[in-house]
């Protein structure tokens, strides 16, 4: 692989297609989710090697609780197995894990795992891996607005202070730059309530590849596509007619 000169600082990925991958191979849904975790670790290590600074992975949405209870149970079991099977590998690659989402409403076992994973990787100085768990973009914005209203009522801030920067400080991603590139696997072409505030100027790449089949080569191709794009943030390019 040749070196890519114009790398994004922050890549976000919507991990999609685990169940369809499994069913296409006449396997159980849980087999697809397990393979998906293997891919997650593979791509996290690759991103760290590519010197990506932030990698956000949409691992479980608030809407996913509507799925079959047996599937939810399997997903929670996989979450518990992450520590014993994969966390040492994450630590070995100097990756720091941060979890965003509505953590307060999770059950104690999930809170315990999240706390442990974040604590064990806290001292790592390499790439920051942000796991969006029990996450919803709209819910994140609503929670942020409630915090702003509360602080305004307590006279900690005034309404004149409310702007893009202040809003960003109340989001789950405070102190994390907005994603430069968002990738979605499995052929779906929508955001599915992911990073709605933060994606205002993100570049998007959609691939038909199911997440369990997503390889380092696929990731490299996405980075290469990004490197060839021109990000204008609403500005005109040189010599472009208004």
Catalytic residue among 64, 74, 169, 193, which? 64
Which residue stretches of 18-163 are H helix? 18-24, 29-49, 69-85, 87-92, 108-121, 137-153
Is 16 marked active-site? yes
Q: Going by C-beta distance under 8 Å and a sequence separation of 6 or more, which residues neighbour residue 161?
A: none
Provide the 10 A C-beta neighbour count for residue 132: 26
Place of tokens 């949405």: 61
Set 16, 29, 172, 180: catalytic member: 16
**What residues contact 81, with CB distance under 8 A and at least 6 apart?**
none
- CA separation, residue 4 to residues 51, 109, 127 (Å): 11, 41, 17
- Indicate the SS3 state at residue 59: strand
Cβ pair 130, 54 in contact under 8 A: yes
Q: Find residue 183's DSSP bridge partners.
A: 13, 205
Q: What is the CA radius of gyration of the chain?
A: 19
| Known catalytic residue at 51 | no
> What order do you get walking across the sheet with 181-184 strand by strand?
96-100, 128-135, 54-61, 10-14, 181-184, 203-206
CA angle 208, 211, 217 (to 5 degrees): 80
Instruction: Name residue, tokens 């991603």.
Output: 173
Q: Which residues are catalytic?
A: 16, 64
């Amino acid at each position: 692989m040749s070196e890519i000169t114009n790398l994004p600082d922050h890549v976000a990925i919507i991990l999609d297609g685990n169940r369809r991958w499994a069913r296409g191979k006449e396997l159980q849904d849980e087999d697809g989710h397990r393979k998906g975790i293997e891919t997650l670790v593979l791509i996290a290590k690759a991103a760290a090697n590519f010197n990506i600074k932030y990698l956000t992975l949409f691992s479980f949405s608030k809407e996913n609780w509507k799925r079959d209870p047996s599937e939810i149970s399997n997903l929670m079991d996989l979450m518990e197995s992450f520590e014993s099977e994969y966390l040492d590998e994450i630590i070995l690659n100097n990756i720091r894990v941060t979890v965003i989402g509505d953590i307060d409403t999770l059950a104690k076992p999930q809170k315990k795992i999240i706390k442990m994973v974040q604590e064990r990787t806290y001292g790592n100085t390499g790439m920051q891996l942000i796991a969006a768990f029990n996450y919803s973009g709209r819910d994140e914005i609503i929670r942020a607005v409630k915090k702003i209203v509360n602080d305004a009522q307590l006279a900690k801030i005034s309404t004149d202070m409310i702007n893009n920067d202040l809003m960003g400080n109340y989001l789950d991603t405070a102190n994390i730059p907005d994603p430069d590139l968002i990738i979605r696997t499995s052929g779906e072409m929508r955001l599915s309530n992911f990073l709605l505030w933060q994606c205002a100027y993100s570049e998007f790449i959609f691939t038909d590849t199911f997440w369990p089949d997503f390889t380092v080569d696929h990731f490299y191709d996405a980075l290469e596509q990004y490197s060839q794009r021109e990000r204008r943030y609403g500005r005109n390019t040189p010599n472009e007619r208004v």
